[in-house]
Amino acid sequence: MTRLAHDRYCDEIAHQVGLLRSVVTSGADLSGTVPTCPDWSLEDLVRHLGGALRWVELIVRTRAQEEVPEEGVPGFAGPEARGDAAALDAWLAESGEQVVAALREAGPDTGVWSWAGDLSCGFWARRVTHEITVHRADAALAAGLPYDVAPEVAADAIDEWLQIVEYVQRTAPDDAVRELRGPVRSIHLHATDARPELDAEWLIELTEDGVSWRRGHEKATVALRGPLTSVLLAFYRRLPLDAEELEVLGDRKLLEFWLERATFG
């Protein structure tokens, strides 16, 4: 599917950083556990994201042609003191400003190292957008705050996730995603609240040859229906399938099988 424009990704990164900063400064308990990432506290999550932004900024700014070690990234770890919301907020703001500036200056077609076959700054603009968009959901859930995302960003996040699953299946034969190969089965995702021109429906086919997918409304072995944001969060394993706003029709075990294995790390 067609990606969003490069400037749109850059704008969204800046927007998402601003929304995440509002969680940091909301008075939420930075030491509290993130329910959807239980190995992390809220502060751990924010530091992970800020460090990732600085890592990508260095890759893009220096036009790196090989992976950059985290220990070589200035300011990667964040503020020395923990529990200081003001310092964490300032560091996160600077991280966001730096990566957005680097991505805008480079443009989408500049060649740099990446881990997913697409050796361009455009890959990183898209990947950072969805990394922070989904992790902001983790932060909002941890802080008990509402969460929503622009429909075109949510739909593109599902597209990107499916493309990553395809890539991992081709290039990492030992990954759990290999178990998705088998007799022909299919999964349909249906956003019930999206405007028609967004075409926010997907058909995912699992076959002996691997995973393939396309946009569109088609019958499937199992269907996941609900508001687009909820479908996105369920597909990223941030919302349980039993959530009130979701509906699963057909072979629920197949959908659970997919969610357990469609990963890239």
pTM assigned to the model: 0.94
Q: Which CATH number fits domain 6-143: 4.10.80.40, 2.60.40.10, 1.20.120.450, 1.10.287.180?
A: 1.20.120.450
Domain ranges of the chain: 6-143, 151-261
Helix H, strand E, coil C: the string for the chain is: CCCCCHHHHHHHHHHHHHHHHHHHCCCCCCCCEECCEEEEEHHHHHHHHHHHHHHHHHHHHCCCCCCCCHHHCCCCCCCCCCCCHHHHHHHHHHHHHHHHHHHHHHCCCCCCCCCCCCCCHHHHHHHHHHHHHHHHHHHHHHHCCCCCCCHHHHHHHHHHHHHHHHHHHHHCCCCHHHHHCCCCEEEEEEECCCCHHHCCEEEEEEECCEEEEEECCCCCCEEEEECHHHHHHHHCCCCCCCCCCCEEEECHHHHHHHHHHCCCC
Looking at domain 151-261, its CATH class is: alpha beta
- Separation between Cα atoms, residue 174 and residue 188, nearest integer Å: 26
| Per-residue pLDDT tens digits of the chain, which is 265 residues long | 689 999 999 999 999 999 999 999 999 999 999 999 999 999 999 999 999 999 999 999 999 999 999 999 999 999 999 999 999 999 999 999 999 999 999 999 999 999 988 999 999 999 999 999 999 999 999 999 999 999 999 999 999 999 998 888 878 766 677 788 888 999 999 999 988 889 999 999 999 888 999 999 999 999 999 999 999 999 999 999 999 999 999 999 999 999 998 875 4
